[in-house]
Amino acid sequence: SVQLLFSFKLTDVQGTLKEHLSLCQHITQHLSSILEEQLNLIKMFLDKGTHDNSCSSGFVYMSPGALVQRGTLMVLIPDKGTVKCGVWSWKAVAHEGIEQGSQVPYVRWALGQSCAVLLMNPNEGDLSPEEHVRRVWERFLSKSVAERITVVAHGYGGLAFVHLLCHQLHEVRQRVWAVAFIDSSHSMWHQPLGASGRDWLKAHARMWILSSKPMNRQLGSLKAGCRVMSAGTQCLCTKSSHKTLDICFLLSIFLLFVRLFANVSKLYCQYPNLQCFASHLHSLSFSHFVTLQPHTPLCIILRF
């Protein structure tokens, strides 16, 4: 493999900016090759009839046949800013690697459970994040035959999803089964979501934030409109601080989807050891979790 060196000097502002942009460009190219060549994702443009990067509205990545695949379709929405499609955090990728700061682990795990995936890309093109999420919903997600759509939204991506919910509540709640917010910027104080929308969000969404409390300990937050959970102290010890939040609770997000998908009593009858299995998953350390493979028994449960 080719090793690239990037030199940063705090006294050289322009030089540091140039190196930073070069690093981000390299990460983008490397990540695109992983998404397309290793995970076989397809680039789909938002403007109808457009098949190249000249599309002014941008593009998304999705798995082959994602819109005609029954079962579960997982949607990933990144934060606002300079992050590109497939990236949670530049800083986390630079400090910790692709497995920590990108959406690759989410995509790999979902595909391992026979789920379809769609990666939104709100920071490219001429649309605002809110407009991008709405366009993707109207262009792709509303036409999907998936029985269950799940959403993982980070930062401003959470606000953009709630914006969609405010304007297309009936359609969204008919299709979306679960929402996992990662340190989301949305707020029930400032977004006009009515009583029925708030009830839906409370029942179908969870949010994880940085906290010194143990992982998955419930925290209090009125503006989120849903149960808020701790991402755990393990995230606080990383070089990238809150920017590695996303990978720390990947396991918790999948467990949330399991619980909201399934008729729990039915599953307990069919899989008597499910409760013990779920307890075991909660007890796993982060270092243990990142070594888990897609054939872990969770794949059996996620198909419900």
For residue 212, pLDDT over 70 is answered with: yes
Q: Considering only the C-alpha atoms of the chain, give the largest distance between any 2 of them, rounded to a whole number of Å.
A: 65
pLDDT for position 111:
93
Mean pLDDT of the chain: 77
Q: DSSP assignment of 112-137, as one string?
A: HTT-EEEE--TTSSSS-HHHHHHHHH
Read off the pLDDT band of 190 (50, 70, 90): confident
Instruction: Give exposure, 46-79, as e/b (b: 16+ Cβ within 10 Å).
Output: beeeeeeeebebbbbbbbeebbebeebbbbbbbb
Beta bridge partners of 228: 207, 219
Per-residue pLDDT at 201: 92
Give the number of C-alpha atoms closer than 13 A to the C-alpha of residue 127, restricted to the C-beta side.
21
How far from each other are the two terminal CA atoms of the chain, in whole angstroms? Answer: 41
Report d(CA 285, CA 237) in Å as an integer: 14
Given this model, what pLDDT does residue 89 score? Answer: 84
Neighbour-count burial of 181, counting CB atoms closer than 10 A to its CB (0-12 exposed, 13-18 middle, 19+ buried): buried
Nearest-5° Cα angle at 137, 201 to 194: 30
Residue of 173 and 25 predicted with greater confidence: 173
pTM over 0.75: yes
C-alpha span between 261 and 263 (Å, rounded): 7
Say if residue 186's pLDDT is above 70.
yes
Q: What is the mean pLDDT of residues 131-143?
A: 97
CATH of region 43-302, choose from 3.40.50, 3.30.1360, 3.30.70, 2.40.10: 3.40.50
Q: Give the residue extent of every domain in the chain.
A: 43-302
